Amino acid sequence: MQARITIGFRPGVLDPEARAIERSLHGLGFTEASGLKKFKVIELELAMTDKDAAMARAKEMCEQLLANPVIESYTVEFGDPA
């Protein structure tokens, strides 16, 4: 089962890299760009067929390694690879 995990900072947590990208876009003349957010996307294959069990396992992975639950939130989606 193909899983896509998207990880980003929680609201209120500063993202200096996203802020730097936004400033650079403005410097290049893209002044209409604002509110930039940066995310990590992790795609992986789970050798499971039960979607509920796969979701639980993916959440365990996020909580233990892939995301920092103190400052990051995540979403897990299942489907075919893009």
SS3 at position 41: strand
Rounded CA separation 4/23 (Å): 29
Nearest partner of 2 among 65, 76, 73, 63, judged by Cα: 76
Residue 82, pLDDT above cutoff 60: no
Q: What does pTM read for this prediction?
A: 0.86
Give pLDDT, residue 81: 52
Main-chain phi, psi angles of 51, to 5 degrees: -65, -40
Mean pLDDT of 1-10: 97
- Kind and range of the H or E element at 2? strand 2-9
What architecture (CATH level 2) is domain 2-78?
A: 2-Layer Sandwich (3.30)
Return all residues near 27 (Cβ < 8 A) that are at least 6 apart.
none
Query: Where do the domains of the chain lie?
Result: 2-78
